[in-house]
Amino acid sequence: MSSAARTPLSDLTVVQALVSDVRVQPLLRELGDEYSTRYGRDAHAELARYPDEEFTAPHGGVLLLLLEGGEPVAGGAFRRYDATTAELKRIWTHSAHRRRGLARRVVAELEREAAARGYRRIHLTTGPRQPEARGLYLATGYTPLFDTQADPETIGPLPFEKHVPVATRTGKATDL
């Protein structure tokens, strides 16, 4: 798809989905393939280890997809880490749709939803062989909880955090 034909970010549809939703399968399949290539081991089982319940109420999580023309182009999720902290998981952009700011949009949507559910902090980890993810989190205001000067391969999973203001409900239609 040429960049001239791409939908503006404001025209993408944001939907909540379950892990078992057929629209989530391209996300998990491509993400598993990419992780398997980068880390030299089958990552598909790791991606399947969290059931739907981890990303739905009452646990406080959510899985969001960005749809373009009804097809998933990006997505991500959060789950309850502790009473005040959400943990971002599975931030993904379809390989044919990268370099459009979609991952930033996913992260912003997840942060908004986490704040609306009362979470005050967001935690996440990314792998040492995912420099794009590391760059995304640094660019979107996450604080690295590791020495950024160290070789990522010597650290293992790279933890980040961000404190978010809790959304306040005004009772207006814009809150819905």
Specify if 50 maps to a domain.
Answer: yes
- Beta partners for residue 139, in sequence order: none
Average pLDDT over residues 126-144: 96
Per-residue model confidence as pLDDT tens digits over 54-109: 888 777 788 999 999 999 999 999 999 999 999 999 999 999 999 999 999 999 99
Specify if 34 maps to a domain.
Answer: yes
Q: Say what the pLDDT of residue 57 is.
A: 75
The enclosing domain of 118 has a CATH number of 3.40.630.30
CA atoms of 161 and 156, how far apart (whole Å):
16
Provide the pLDDT confidence category of residue 161 given band limits of 50, 70 and 90: very high
Per-residue model confidence as pLDDT tens digits over 7-47: 666 689 999 998 889 999 888 899 999 999 999 999 888 88
Q: Tokens 């880490």 label which residue?
A: 81
15: exposed, middle or buried (Cβ count in 10 Å: 0-12, 13-18, 19+): middle
Sequence letter at residue 60: G
Specify if 174 maps to a domain.
Answer: no
CA atoms of 137 and 125, how far apart (whole Å):
10
Provide the pLDDT confidence category of residue 157 given band limits of 50, 70 and 90: very high
Q: Say what the pLDDT of residue 59 is.
A: 73
Q: Tokens 């739907």 label which residue?
A: 52
What HEC string does 111-144 produce?
HHHHHHCCCCEEEEEECCCCHHHHHHHHHCCCEE
Specify if 71 maps to a domain.
Answer: yes
Specify if 176 maps to a domain.
Answer: no
Provide the pLDDT confidence category of residue 52 given band limits of 50, 70 and 90: confident
Average pLDDT over residues 145-160: 95
Per-residue pLDDT at 110 exceeds 90: yes
Q: Say what the pLDDT of residue 176 is.
A: 45
Residue 73 lies in domain: 3-166
- Beta partners for residue 121, in sequence order: 85, 163
* pTM attached to this predicted model: 0.87
Provide the pLDDT confidence category of residue 5 given band limits of 50, 70 and 90: low
Q: Which two tokens stand for residue 128?
A: 């040492």
CB atoms inside a 10 Å sphere around CB 41: 9
What HEC string does 33-57 produce?
HHHHHHHCCCCHHHHCCCCHHHHCC
Domain count of the chain?
A: 1
